[in-house]
Amino acid sequence: MTRIIDFHAHLDERWFHVPCDSPSSMVATLDRFEVEAACVFTIMGFYEDCIPHNEALLRRANEYPDRLIPFVTVDPKLGRAAVDELERCLANPRFRGIKFHPWLQAFASSMLRDTMMDILHVAAQHQVPILLHDGTPPYSTTYQVADLARWSPETTIVLGHAGSADYVSPAAQLIREIPNLYGCFCGPRPGDLEHLVALGGAEKIIFGSDFGAAGWRLLPERIDNVTEAKLTPAELDLILYGNSVRLLKLDEFLLTATASSAGGKR
């Protein structure tokens, strides 16, 4: 069995009235399924003021700095204030990526182009990937997310669900065409993964589970979706581990058990 990093998980106190996994129960789930680390995103930060949610996410992730990798989110509708909050968070090397959920955050990137361009450039400067939920209209179609990668070829853009159910075919095609566009395989079925790899290449597809908001069961189910696909061991290794290491620069900036020394200055 290859090593595993989960590139898409949620760490929050609650999803509205539903309590979510705590950092310790999340790490217990990672241990149980032999997953080394998970990129973790807010949930309520997509609905409410991002700043306290970025702070809370960092605090929770810092309980296990060698296992939980926080991604910052901001509200692009706020313009300059969103860019400032992004810069503030990325000054801390514990944040290794940016997450958007345009559907829940209710923004169309094309209507906020100036702010999104600033955000894309900040991400490129800090060399952190941006993962966006994709696969659902009206704001998060796979085409809309892929556009961002075309706007800023130096920024790494990740389709958060590699097309989800409805957009797998265009996702595969877009990942093939756009060098800086990747797909997080998080939702589609094993046959879809074979298609994504055949078109886009195994080095462009990253495993993610989306677990954390609704219990642990999604994690083994989604690992199975990867391992059940007819792929070579080398392809599986890239998808489950190698591509995450590359995008998160884990070789350069090691995850360490103490948050204060994690990674040093980027």
Which residues would be at the binding site for Zn ion (CB under 5 A)? 210
Tell me the closest approach of the beta carbon of residue 252 to Zn ion, in angstroms: 26
The region, left, alpha or beta by phi > 0 then psi within -120 to 50, assigned to residue 129 is beta
Q: How far is the CB of 167 from Zn ion (least distance, A)?
A: 16
Residue 224 dihedral angles phi and psi, to the nearest 5°? -60, -40
Closest approach, Cβ 50 to Zn ion, in A, equals: 16
* Closest residue by Cα to residue 35 from 11, 57, 68: 68
CB of 192 or CB of 210, closer to Zn ion: 210
Which run of H or E residues covers position 207?
strand 205-207
Q: Kindly tell me which of 135 and 263 has the beta carbon lying closer to Zn ion.
A: 135
Q: Please, which residue, 83 or 142, has the CB nearer to Zn ion? A: 142
**In the complex, residue closest to Zn ion by CB:** 210
CA nearest neighbour of 266 among 256, 255, 257, 253: 253
- The rounded distance, in Å, linking the Cα atoms of 32 and 116 is 39
Q: Tell me the pairing of strands 181-185 and 37-41.
A: unpaired
Query: Closest CB to Zn ion among 134 and 210?
Result: 210
Least separation in angstroms between CB 115 and Zn ion = 22
